[in-house]
Structure 1
């Protein structure tokens, strides 16, 4: 029984244990992806893909045929794009310019091949859509996360021109493909390329290959075009505005070279033909077609492309309304002044003395008026922003004086060094003589060179460099040297940048980016773009006030007297000397100034300066032009006054120590030295040992004398006298202890022979525009001394920095040197770089100002002041 009881107990234990054990899992686990399920999925996916492909194919075929039939004869259904002034007055329309269609037989094969090689090398192989190109473009778009490449064939480009909308959507792209396929099915390749060439845009409002040939080469017979001309036209579809040969000849030439290379690689031309066609310079000048406001309209269209992403073709056929900032009366005044040849120096040949002017409303940054050259053509070369030249002494306020005031260590009454000195190997000169010291206000008024360079050295070159960049001046790293104080720049600047920079002085230290478009509305009058400029404080209000106070004196009784009008004016002159040894003529003359209402910059000079193409006049010519234009342009604008700052006062001059008469200068004599091309003056000394002598000069065509220079010596040399001109001089003695001037000495006169030994006729100038005279203070940089020291801060003393090797004027030094420590001296003169198209001087030079600076070789000559560079 015991054995039975034990057996029963074990069975009960086993039963309990079995109830607590987990149930074993099934050996057959249900599979989620069975072979059958995979096969059905593949079947339905394939069926769906085939269905979509068939649907897409039917859409492309049917829709494309339908759209092609409906729109085959249309280019656009939108109204023309219209341009308005700041008061919403219509000033122009972008009406399309088209010629009669050209038959394929009248288009040379080489011209056709130029376009195929450039735009669609597989044109003769594909059926409207190049899958390889689309795939390549898709990869690039995905990598860039934006549309960077289109992959469109010539047929697709034609389809896009026929289609009605400009929307950049997938649906538009699909429709474009459908029309392209339809075109390939219905037309031959010759038909397609002919339609394409007759419809494509060639810059501005020019459409069609024949219209382009007439516009850019004056040739209606396409078979008479040379290879380089064909390649120039084939270069344009990539960027009709950018590669327009009239507007951007250098960029057009670069793009043409690419077209020629592609043609050679694809076997259409030989390498010799490529090389010969690549070097030809574009110099065609289309017949003049005058239209009011064209320069401003062209600038506004360029701004719409650059700032708002609209293509030139979008603007031509999109039916937009562009509302600009242009003032009609101001623009008309500028255009009339540029059309009057009496306002410009007479040229020695058919190459005109050119000019540029930009006027800005400093309160909001809007461009009021502009002009990019005389005889400006539609979509032509504009010097407003296209040409860059050395500004000479007009750069001193931007890079030396204003940043010095900003440091808080200087004021307009601070005493600056005016002693003859070198900064390392950089040795600028004054034209008006030297003194131990001079106030900042007087230094600007007389446009002396030494104080501007000394001051930049004191605050540090980088301080002035960064300040100028903050004011919107395009500078390069190689510009970090002391010659920057006198406008020595590797690439130069233009009237747009200079007017924008000076607008910050006029606007109490705040600057707005200059703009020409207020807003753009689409064809439905919906505003799609709007200007949004915010002011940026670039200097303190006190600095702007002091600069205005000092630059008013420049106009009142300094180098800018010819800019005087019936309103308050502040400004600065600038001149760039020729840079040729023994030649005192000038390359560039400037005046940049402002009233309480508007700021404007004027430049005059030759596009391609050379020994034969230089200016006899100096910056007073630009100042007189500025005054004439601004006074008329502001005729109906209420006059204002410059603001006055509280707690800021200019010390009154101390009363004269005595009213006793002082002795005048006697014994004045004059002699012209033909060997040095210098008018030498000498006179007897007055009793006072510390007397200062002020020399005045008047050119025969001028009504008034202007101060030429100041010196402590009893001799002086006028190196700015021009061949074929006559001059009168007198001298006044200034007695510092008594703070009085003597009466004038007797006058002496001299006639400067021309190269043949006889005076040549003087340039014709409007009597209302007095001929300039070299009354700007300052001196000439030494073109041969290309020092290598960047100026440091000399307040703490120290050793001179490393000097670079001296070199020829305008050429980059081999060893520019490193920035020096305190007291490190003069930088090298900036290296000349090739100027933009149509503005390359033939020789390397440095600018000079009466504070003059030698000019560099390209569009950016080193500056000089009146007579030398201002």
Structure 2
């Protein structure tokens, strides 16, 4: 019985245990999890600490210099070894110590190397805003990070930083650590350490002479030494100084009255007059710094002892620097300095320039020119920082490139340059720069001559979003700006030579783009880590688009607006650009961007104040710069021409056809142009404009014995404006043009007895002058048994004594321009005569000729466009009593124009009756 009871009791206990509450299980599991996490985190942190580098005393005092290598792997710069002076703690005045600690680490003299309170605040901020959003580094930690660790934002590095900071505080005093910090920090303008900074900015070598405002400036600079550069950005530095003063008041270092007094000081009054000297390669090194900062988290090229491999061509950089210098042997004719209208002191501004040189094949930056006469360290770099309107350099990017890419336009595509273009919703217009409008032109001609109206029409047809998307593929940044109609001609968003060079290089490189780059790789010598920075290329537009734009831009250089950049024998493409600004006399911006298969160069010139304009030849300076740079870079190396891809075909088309048509067999050579088409879009229809005319019909030539003349007659039926060219071969002589006439008959007088005349008549279209018929021919022989002159004279005297000496004037006198010649014809009804033709130009007699035919063609050097010609015809009797007698002179006038159109004048007693035909 007892056994049974024990068994039941045991079972009850087991049942009770199995019914333990769920919350107890959750707590139990959570505790186990937390313990496991704690063990894991502790193990991980222990690993981080164990693998932390040892404290090396030799690395504590001096920042590592970064070394820079050129495109051939040769070192060309060593930053960090210059502009440094060491200071000891005893040399530091209290005002500087207070300013630095209040700004960087208020509890520096109390904490053991890490500040728990700051860490707590940073943890909250990092949880809220993401890791790395707020730092908690003490001065000690900053010394450790700059001496032993990579600047990357990683948990492992932060743990090692705190661990080493605790160790450092065990080995060194607070004074020694602050001394290390102030000797290590970079203050901008190549100054390392607070002592060199005080000398560079304030001209003070004794730190005890520092005032409160100066100490506040030095304490504030290290956060952003370039942005707070007091020489360049005094207003921004003033704001930073005020922040430092507020912190000093907050932490009890100074009173509010002292801070208020310090704020009254002008930054400029504190600075030395000796600004930092410009340094070779500074413009290029600015781009290096930008790329390293953007792509290598936390890296500092001035303090981290990096090995940085760059793309610079030092020879190219040296030549660019020379052309931007103020040396007397510089061949570039820059504009003279002008007074800045915004300066109360009448400060003068130099004409400035920004230059970027790229390797066309890779996009590697070979040289950068950021300013005239060199660039101060971290100064304003116009090649990479500037944002100025690009003018017409944007036309390939915003207009014609997108049109070819999206709509497969040909280089022949016809556009009407027909007058000012109204900007919708405004009372403004886009006008031409050329003071004239050209009517229907090809896209090639419109780009070659930089015509505004065709560009805007192209932009409108492409569509704004398509144009923007195309430009962005080429690296153009619009930021927050809305795209506008004026972007079609580069009159809205701002850009710089680096960005434009990258875009133009895409055309030069067959549609393949990668961001222009100055750095190929960065090495961290201490860790052995290497970061590759070379961007990957990508095909962003069709190779057909790239080649067709390039081919059009080649014409810009050889016969368009960019001829000043042309280098004979070197295949080049490029585009000019100038801007206008209301109220500004001249162009605030002048650009030229161009390329060969080896190099792409973009150049901007102007004044930093864009209310000052360049005038006349001053706008040609970018072309001159381009020519000198490209000539220097291209000498002693082969520069092949651009290669046409299979996606593009060359097609001969008839000029003036809309849409493009193939020339017919009768299209004159002067009316045929060769243009480029995207393969598969070339024209297939043949023009009918220059079709061959039907020949004349029923041509007859007969000899009239009564008048001793040859009478030529023919028939022709057509609704077109047709004239007839009559020629003759006399005997075995050469064929000679006799006359042109609108009549279907002609008389040939003064014929030779016993001679055969081969008559030829050709129909000609009066409008085109190229549509001709096959010649119709007829032959007639003049009899040999003509009566001699005396018999004829006697016969005439007998028949009509009253006609003695009676020579009438010619009738129907007409002079017509036919191309570059004047075609004169007339009628005559009287005794046999020859005709004296007198030609005068603008009142001066230039030619006299006697002919036997009733017409003459005047051509040669005497016929000039724009001239006004008077043609006078005098009949002179040949036989009988009329021999030698002169009839009344008749005249007509004609003015020669450049047009191919035929203009005729009917003369009547010196009165001019003109007809445009």
Give the TM-score normalised by the residue count of structure 2: 0.61
Partner of 2:515: 513
Contact 2:305 2:524 in 1 (8 A): yes
Q: How does 1:720-739 map to 2 (within 5 A)?
A: 734-735=898-899, 737=901
Contact 2:308 2:523 in 1 (8 A): yes
Query: What is the alpha-carbon distance in structure 2 between the residues aligned to residue 452 and residue 263 of structure 1?
Result: 60
Contact 1:228 1:278 in 2 (8 A): no
Question: Deviations 1:401-441 (Å, cap 9, x if unpaired)?
Answer: 11122222532212223222312224111121224333211
Partner of 2:835: none
Partner of 2:338: 348
Partner of 2:454: 451
Partner of 1:366: 364
Q: Secondary structure at the match of 1:25?
A: helix
Q: How far 1:161 moved relative to its partner?
A: 4.3
Q: How far 1:554 moved relative to its partner?
A: 1.0
Q: How does 1:87-166 map to 2 (within 5 A)?
A: 87-97=72-82, 99-102=84-87, 107-142=92-127, 146-161=131-146, 163=148
Query: What is the alpha-carbon distance in structure 2 between the residues aligned to residue 177 and residue 265 of structure 1?
Result: 26
The 1:385–1:150 alpha-carbon spacing in structure 2 relative to 1, beyond 3 Å, is same
Partner of 2:297: 309
Contact 1:92 1:297 in 2 (8 A): no
Contact 1:575 1:590 in 2 (8 A): yes
Partner of 2:628: 628
2:12 to 26, 30, 37: 26
The 1:585–1:228 alpha-carbon spacing in structure 2 relative to 1, beyond 3 Å, is farther
The 1:536–1:376 alpha-carbon spacing in structure 2 relative to 1, beyond 3 Å, is same
Question: Deviations 1:374-405 (Å, cap 9, x if unpaired)?
Answer: 22133333222111111111111111111122
Partner of 1:575: 578
Q: Secondary structure at the match of 1:520?
A: strand
Question: Deviations 1:143-174 (Å, cap 9, x if unpaired)?
Answer: 56634433111233234445577687767655
Query: What is the alpha-carbon distance in structure 2 between the residues aligned to residue 153 and residue 282 of structure 1?
Result: 30
Q: How does 1:236-255 map to 2 (within 5 A)?
A: 236-241=221-226, 243-245=228-230, 255=240
1:553 to 552, 555, 558: 555
Partner of 1:639: 639
Query: What is the alpha-carbon distance in structure 1 between the residues aligned to residue 124 and residue 531 of structure 2?
Result: 31
Contact 2:580 2:587 in 1 (8 A): yes
2:531 to 529, 533, 545: 529
Query: What is the alpha-carbon distance in structure 1 between the residues aligned to residue 413 and residue 99 of structure 2?
Result: 66
The 1:399–1:556 alpha-carbon spacing in structure 2 relative to 1, beyond 3 Å, is same
Contact 1:246 1:379 in 2 (8 A): no
- The structure richer in strand per residue is 2
Q: How does 1:712-861 map to 2 (within 5 A)?
A: 734-735=898-899, 737=901
Q: How far 1:133 moved relative to its partner?
A: 0.8
1:326 to 305, 312, 316: 312
Q: Secondary structure at the match of 2:456?
A: helix
Query: What is the alpha-carbon distance in structure 1 between the residues aligned to residue 587 and residue 561 of structure 2?
Result: 16
Ranges in structure 2 where 5+ consecutive residues have no aligned partner? 340-347, 656-668, 672-768, 770-817, 823-838, 844-863, 869-895, 904-917
Contact 1:385 1:494 in 2 (8 A): yes
Contact 1:605 1:615 in 2 (8 A): no
Q: Secondary structure at the match of 2:644?
A: coil
Over aligned residue pairs, what C-alpha RMSD do you find? 4.5
The 1:334–1:537 alpha-carbon spacing in structure 2 relative to 1, beyond 3 Å, is same
Partner of 1:395: 394
Q: How many residues align?
A: 640
Q: Secondary structure at the match of 2:820?
A: coil
Q: How far 1:370 moved relative to its partner?
A: 1.3
Contact 1:245 1:252 in 2 (8 A): yes
Q: How far 1:222 moved relative to its partner?
A: 4.2
Greater alpha carbon shift after TM alignment, 469-478 vs 645-654: 645-654
Q: Does 1:606 align with 2:607?
A: yes
Q: How far 1:495 moved relative to its partner?
A: 0.5
Query: What is the alpha-carbon distance in structure 1 between the residues aligned to residue 82 and residue 124 of structure 2?
Result: 38
The 1:177–1:599 alpha-carbon spacing in structure 2 relative to 1, beyond 3 Å, is same
Q: How far 1:508 moved relative to its partner?
A: 1.3
Greater alpha carbon shift after TM alignment, 601-610 vs 143-152: 143-152
Question: Deviations 1:609-633 (Å, cap 9, x if unpaired)?
Answer: 445x756644321111111111101
Q: How far 1:334 moved relative to its partner?
A: 1.1
Q: Does 1:542 align with 2:544?
A: yes
Contact 1:318 1:523 in 2 (8 A): no
Query: What is the alpha-carbon distance in structure 1 between the residues aligned to residue 156 and residue 485 of structure 2?
Result: 59
Q: How far 1:105 moved relative to its partner?
A: 6.3
Compare relative contact order (CA 8 Å, sep 6+) and give the higher one, 1 or 2: 1
Give the TM-score normalised by the residue count of structure 1: 0.64
Q: How far 1:265 moved relative to its partner?
A: 5.2
Q: How far 1:529 moved relative to its partner?
A: 1.4
Q: Secondary structure at the match of 1:93?
A: strand
Q: Does 1:655 align with 2:670?
A: yes
Q: How does 1:666-745 map to 2 (within 5 A)?
A: 686=866, 734-735=898-899, 737=901
